[in-house]
Amino acid sequence: MRKTLPSFLFLLLLIFAIAFAISSVSAYDGISGLGTEEQESSVMITGYQINPATLMCNDVGTVTVTVKNMESDKSVNIKDARMLSRNIKVLSNSYFNIGRLGPGESLNLTFTIKATCPDGIYYPRILVEGEDAQNIRYSIPVTVDSSSLTIGVKDIPEDVFKGERARIELVVGNPRQNTATAVKIATMEENVIPSEVFIGALSADETKVASFNFTPQTKSAHILNFELEFKNGDNYHLTALSVPLDVTESKKRAELIITGIEVEPMLGMKVYKITGDINNAGLKEAKSVVMKVGNAEGIEAMHPYKAYFVGLLSPDDFSSFELDVKVGENGTQVPLIIEYKDEDGNKFSKTEYVSIERHQGTTSSGELPLSVIVVLVVVAIFVIGAIAYSWKKR
């Protein structure tokens, strides 16, 4: 019996020691399970907020917890608050000597975190220690999901022709659990307009369409590069999209050619009247056809026909035109610009050159026909004859 009592006391102490050790370990790291709350505690964590709600890998975010004094007649002195985690990197420092929290009062504490870990759900632990209250340990679930916004081609013409506008529709989708903001698609391509389309906020599982117009100037293989930019919280992310296109020459476009060119000099000022026919040898209509005199050294368009509006020119149709141009000493070639639009409003331009041959001292309208010279000689002989005859008869 003397030996039994000490053994019993030792066994009792051992049980207490094991129980204390178990409770200490579980209080430090609760990786799984939701937050544990001490029911007896006079201070509670009543809520939390994570921004952004779902982080991407390497994103920086914030976790804000609300600490509330649940006592109705007693204030509590909060000594410190800290966030602890093995997987999520905590960037901000712990809070020390926060101060007293009055009865029923609450306090928001914000911690900055960085998701340096692979995708998954992590539970960083909040520890709040009060002077005259029990400590709080609270686990917050933080989701890391690196799924990016998606961008793809929604619609594109089967054939893209040189000089013709092709409409490209891109679709942006948000497969994430949270809303992405400041979503925009930008491109540095020369012949693509607009260069940027701003979409704005894109909620989870939402899609939006952005349209671009591409007017290729050369026929070859093109790769159009687009960049999708968005913000997850305060973190910028980029996604690139390359759209390969094969630009060919259209076989059905309008084809305007000039024939029957006549250059007629006008009197003085070195002005020439250029007339001719403009024909549509293509298979499509040419709309708003305008003939103009192009810019060149020593060449100046003149009134009344600085430009000539032809209008609609159907396939296999033609129209006459007239242009007035002043040609300086240096000018010998007059550039004629033919501008027209297709049915989509795409503008086309073509330049043809007309040679000017100078007539020194005479003009086509001023040349003396042989018959006139004969008349002059006859008149002169007649007058001289009449005068001579009158003197002879005197």
Partner 1 sequence: MLEVLTNPNKFFEARKRGEESLRIPVLIVLISGIIGGISAFLTSSIMMEAMTKTLPPEAQGFMSFMPIGSAIGAVIASFIIWLIIAAIFFGIASIFKGEGKFKRTLEFVGYGYIPTIIGGLISAVLVYNFVTTVQIPTITDPTEIREVITPLMKSPMMLLSSVIGILFMLWSANIWVFGLKHARNLSTKNALITVAIPVAAYILFSVYQMGVM
Instruction: Please work out the total of residues on this chain that contact partner 1, with binding judged by CB under 8 A.
Output: 32
Minimum distance, C-beta of residue 371 to partner 1, in the bound complex (Å): 11
Minimum distance, C-beta of residue 306 to partner 1, in the bound complex (Å): 10
195, amino acid identity:
S
Distances from the Cα of 268 to the Cα of 272, 295, 307, 363, angstroms: 10, 21, 21, 10
Q: Select from 9, 34, 121, 379 the one that contacts partner 1 (CB under 8 A).
A: 379
Q: Select from 268, 329, 330, 360 the one that contacts partner 1 (CB under 8 A).
A: 268
DSSP state of 149: P
Cross-strand pairs, 368 = none
SS3 190: coil
Site string for partner 1, 71-110 (x = CB under 8 A): ----------------------------------------
Minimum distance, C-beta of residue 270 to partner 1, in the bound complex (Å): 9
- Kindly indicate which of the ranges 82-90, 195-203, 235-243, 374-382 contains the residues binding partner 1, using the contact rule CB under 8 A: 374-382
Find the binding residues for partner 1 in span 131-150 (CB under 8 A). none
- Kindly indicate which of the ranges 24-32, 121-129, 179-187, 385-393 contains the residues binding partner 1, using the contact rule CB under 8 A: 385-393
Asked whether position 383 contacts partner 1 by CB under 8 A, the answer is yes
- Rounded to whole angstroms, the Cα distance separating 217 from 253 reads 15
Q: Select from 13, 31, 374, 380 the one that contacts partner 1 (CB under 8 A).
A: 380
Minimum distance, C-beta of residue 296 to partner 1, in the bound complex (Å): 19
SS3 59: coil
CB nearer partner 1, residue 238 or residue 380: 380
Distances from the Cα of 44 to the Cα of 33, 140, 354, angstroms: 18, 14, 91
- Rounded to whole angstroms, the Cα distance separating 311 from 1 reads 124
Q: Select from 24, 267, 297, 370 the one that contacts partner 1 (CB under 8 A).
A: 267
- Kindly indicate which of the ranges 25-33, 103-111, 161-169, 266-274 contains the residues binding partner 1, using the contact rule CB under 8 A: 266-274
Asked whether position 269 contacts partner 1 by CB under 8 A, the answer is yes
- Rounded to whole angstroms, the Cα distance separating 40 from 42 reads 6
Asked whether position 266 contacts partner 1 by CB under 8 A, the answer is yes
- Rounded to whole angstroms, the Cα distance separating 89 from 83 reads 10
Whether 106 contacts 68, CB under 8 Å: yes
Minimum distance, C-beta of residue 325 to partner 1, in the bound complex (Å): 10
Minimum distance, C-beta of residue 334 to partner 1, in the bound complex (Å): 15
- Kindly indicate which of the ranges 89-97, 278-286, 343-351, 384-392 contains the residues binding partner 1, using the contact rule CB under 8 A: 384-392
Q: Is the dihedral of CA 149, 155, 160, 162 positive or negative?
A: negative
Q: Select from 13, 17, 372, 374 the one that contacts partner 1 (CB under 8 A).
A: 372
Task: Please list, in sequence order, all residues whose beta carbon lies within 8 angstroms of the beta carbon of residue 222, skipping any fewer than 6 positions away.
Answer: 160, 214, 216, 244, 245, 246, 247
Minimum distance, C-beta of residue 330 to partner 1, in the bound complex (Å): 18
Q: Are strands 54-55 and 142-144 parallel, antiparallel or unpaired?
A: parallel
Minimum distance, C-beta of residue 276 to partner 1, in the bound complex (Å): 15
CB nearer partner 1, residue 302 or residue 336: 302
Residue 91 backbone dihedrals phi, psi, to 5 degrees:
-90, -30
Task: Please list, in sequence order, all residues whose beta carbon lies within 8 angstroms of the beta carbon of residue 280, skipping any fewer than 6 positions away.
Answer: 254, 255, 256, 286, 313, 314, 315, 316, 317, 318
Asked whether position 376 contacts partner 1 by CB under 8 A, the answer is yes
Find the binding residues for partner 1 in span 301-360 (CB under 8 A). 302-304, 324, 326
Q: Which two tokens stand for residue 48?
A: 């939390």
- Rounded to whole angstroms, the Cα distance separating 101 from 130 reads 10
CB nearer partner 1, residue 350 or residue 358: 358
Minimum distance, C-beta of residue 380 to partner 1, in the bound complex (Å): 6
Distances from the Cα of 237 to the Cα of 55, 114, 365, angstroms: 12, 15, 74
Residues in the site for partner 1, rule: CB under 8 A? 264-269, 271, 273, 302-304, 324, 326, 362-363, 365-368, 372, 375-376, 379-380, 383, 386-387, 389-391, 393-394
